[in-house]
A and B are shown apart, each in its own frame.
Chain A
Amino acid sequence: MTIRHHPSDESLVRLAAGALGAGPALVVSVHLQGCAVCRDRLARFEAVGGALLEEMSPAALAPDLFGRTLERLDVDPPEPAPRPVANVKRWPALGIELPSAMRGCEIGPWRWLGPGFRWSKVKIEGSPDAKVMLLKGKAGLHLPGHGHTGLEFNQILSGSLSDERGHYFPGDLDEADDEVDHRPVVAGQTDCVCLAAVEGDTRLHGILGRLLRPLVGF
């Protein structure tokens, strides 16, 4: 399977630097799981981080910091307690298999968003404000034309989408900024499920509302 749509250099730099929000970081991580090209790009940007760390002018440390650190080396437990691998109970029967990069997320049930269109809230541990959702559209669904207020990340998990800019298949990540105005269609014979995250201050319901409004005609 050839992946044709990848996150931008900027987003990978931000992920490497630890500056990408938890929601977009999750979507990009799902992409990375399936994309060796982007894993290699990320490794390069992390190497940039390593090189920049080497170039940092050393900061002054408290004189006793090393001593205090030594004291803690052998005192604290050397290994963190093993974590539960996945809390399956929090994953309702969505009818799809989710990528393992999403373990640790709490997934809500499918909710109605419009005719042939459903969504489910994805909660990321430790980041309650992240705006992440699963979206599911029936084959043939025409989404209303819409713009974007901030960056939106959309990773195709199953099925396919098309818009004016191209076709998106499983493994593809579409990154759309405020310059993108599009009219996606669920292509092919099967439902399309994607994982989407939005950056910026818009509330989740505002985003869903923006998608929904033209569908129900107000």
Chain B
Amino acid sequence: MNEVRQEETPPSPEELILLLEAVARGQDHKAFAQLFAHFAPRVKSFLRRSGLADGVAEEVTQEVMIAVWRKASYFDPRRAGAATWVFTIARNQRIDRLRRLRSAAGEELPDPSEQPDAPPSGEDIALAAEREEQVRKALATLPAEQAAILKLSFFADKPHAEIARELGIPLGTAKSRVRLALARLRAMLDRDL
């Protein structure tokens, strides 16, 4: 089995957690194939969006998926959802790649996702799932322009400049719009606390 079929319906957050747990428990290649079909194209898209060239983005995507396989036992649904966990791996691998491109030594750097934290309490289980749901809802209800600003603040290398260019507004205005969008998001997230 070395073909991966394109997914028809994306797995639900709960299904993704089960797939990761299957990989952690039994080195399950079938579960991994589903995770790959779901995450690899999105991870590559994220890496392209945040400035990596196509070939490098694909290499890093492969590293990310290998890390998903190897670190699946570190995944803890009490801390974060599956997509959030994969996102942090992709983010760290991207930072690592950029640092290695800059330093001649090419040494392996510590990956923060490997560092064990304090064990979560029972309450955290519900909290993490709730938090993810809350964030998804907040993003869905954010006005289109603010959602776009949030996306650019997340994925752009020079967010203020890109927001200014994309929305055709001065740099100073872009800065205050970012502040507004984040304040709005924060108000939505805090309301549900």
Which residue in chain A gives the minimum CB-CB distance to B69?
A73
Interface digits, A6-24 against B, CB 8 Å rule (1 contact, 0 not)? 0001100110111100100
Q: Is B121 an interface residue (CB 8 A)?
A: no
Q: How many residues of B contact A (CB 8 A)?
A: 73
Which residue in chain B gives the minimum CB-CB distance to A22?
B99
> B66 touches which one: A22, A72, A79 (CB < 8 A)?
A72
* Cross-chain contact B45 with A57 (CB below 8 angstroms): yes
Main secondary structure of the interface of B (DSSP, over half): helix
A76 and B114 CA atoms in complex are apart in Å by 17
User: Given A48-B150, A53-B86, A126-B103, is A60 in contact with B179 using a C-beta cutoff of 8 Å?
Assistant: no
Specify which chain A residues have a CB less than 8 angstroms from the CB of B80 in the assembled complex: 43, 46-47, 50
A59 and B159 CA atoms in complex are apart in Å by 22
User: Given A9-B186, A80-B108, A127-B99, is A50 in contact with B85 using a C-beta cutoff of 8 Å?
Assistant: yes
A216 and B102 CA atoms in complex are apart in Å by 37
User: Given A10-B153, A10-B182, is A53 in contact with B2 using a C-beta cutoff of 8 Å?
Assistant: no
Which residue in chain B gives the minimum CB-CB distance to A72?
B66
A-B contact pairs, 17 of them (CB 8 A): A43-B80, A43-B128, A49-B154, A50-B86, A50-B87, A53-B86, A53-B87, A54-B42, A55-B139, A59-B45, A66-B3, A66-B36, A69-B40, A71-B2, A73-B32, A125-B107, A126-B100
Binding site for A on B (CB under 8 A): 1-4, 10, 29, 32-33, 36, 39-46, 48-50, 57-58, 61-62, 65-66, 69-70, 79-88, 90-92, 94-95, 99-100, 102-103, 107-110, 114, 128, 131-132, 135-136, 139, 150-151, 153-157, 159, 178-179, 182-183, 185-186, 189
